[in-house]
Amino acid sequence: MTTTTPERATRPLLRAVRIDRRYLPVLGTLAVLALMLVIGGTRYDNFLTPIVYSNLFINNAHLIALAVGMTFVILTGGIDLSVGSVLALSTVIIAALLQAGWPVAVVLPVAVLTGSLIGLAHGVMIQVFGVQPFVATLAGMFFARGLCFVIAPESIPIDDPAFTALAGWDSWLGHFRTTAAVVIALAVVAIGFVVLHYTRFGRTVYAVGGGEHSAMLMGLAVSRTKVLAYVVSGTCAALGGLLFAMGNRSGYALNGVAMELDAIAAVVIGGTLLTGGTGFVLGSLLGVLTLGTIQTVIQFEGNLSSWWTKIVIGVLLLVFVVLQRALSLRKT
């Protein structure tokens, strides 16, 4: 007759609750976000209110779109430094064409298609001509920013009635306010999630980031996937410009300066490995909300400089990069 010791009985339970290392950075992000919300709720009055959460999404809708596109690129092991400039170019194109009398139904697709074409150019330079992603997208950043100043050296207000109606639409879900920009941003997140996890293209993105040579040996469409990843990033950056223009009601060549760094920070804090192959769109959404919550806490504090936002983001970014490095060493 055999007896089961307590130690043997608990081993299956421990195996059942063991967490996949891929999810640890995302859980870390969730823990940091929850901690900041708890600290803010105990320290400041009216911090844990629906209007604060609503503004968190409203004020960061454009960054959510940028982070989704950046997630695709970083998952392949690349980088895109042009997204802030493409966002600005999108706002300028929308404002300039609307001022010229073009209909909204034509202007918006033209602006988004411009971002897609810039992303396509990046992908071709990187995959066909062997240019490093850093250099290719840096060139795209200068090109898009310079084109902004050529089209509109000064800020262009947007007063088109149809665009104003679209930008001004809002609705209340209970005590939570949502706008058209938030709906579009969350739709981008949902589409990105479905594409990455339920399509062949998404699975190939993960495979390319996990090992490009191995993906080629498996017969996967590596070249096409890498090019399309940059097309997705450019498209999302242009959509981010649309959302930014909806909030600011203007197009300006200096919009989105250094916003590519915020997008990269949100993606990394959200748990996506800079080396590629591991990461989640929903994690990037949590990364954006974490950055937004940091800014909200500093605003509630009142007597702190806004530069503390950059300091805290820098510390968090360093912590998560070190965590990623530790997890990768454990894996090997």
Distance, in Å, from the CA atom of 216 to the CA atom of 195, rounded to the nearest integer, reads 21
**pLDDT value, residue 165:** 95
Ordered structural domains, the chain, with CATH: 22-331 (1.10.3470)
**pLDDT value, residue 306:** 67
Residue with tokens 């997630």: 71
**Quick one: tokens of 191?**
């589409």
Q: In order along the chain (332 residues), what is the average pLDDT of each group of 10 residues?
A: 51 53 77 86 86 92 97 96 97 96 96 97 95 96 96 93 94 89 97 96 94 90 96 97 95 93 92 88 93 86 71 80 66 54
Which CA distances in Å does 134 have to 44, 123, 126, 127, 207?
Answer: 42, 12, 9, 13, 21
**pLDDT value, residue 33:** 87
**DSSP-derived secondary structure for 160-227:** -HHHHHHHH-EEEETTEEEEHHHHHHHHHHHHHHHHHHHSHHHHHHHHHHH-HHHHHHTT--HHHHHH
Residue 102 CB neighbour total at 10 angstroms: 16
Name, in order, each residue with C-beta under 8 angstroms of 152's C-beta and a sequence gap of 6 or more. Answer: 92, 95, 96, 251, 252, 253
Phi/psi for 150 (5° steps) reads: -65, -45
Distance, in Å, from the CA atom of 280 to the CA atom of 278, rounded to the nearest integer, reads 7
Nearest CA among 131, 94, 127 for reference residue 109? 94
pTM of the predicted model over 0.85: yes
**pLDDT value, residue 309:** 74
**pLDDT value, residue 110:** 97
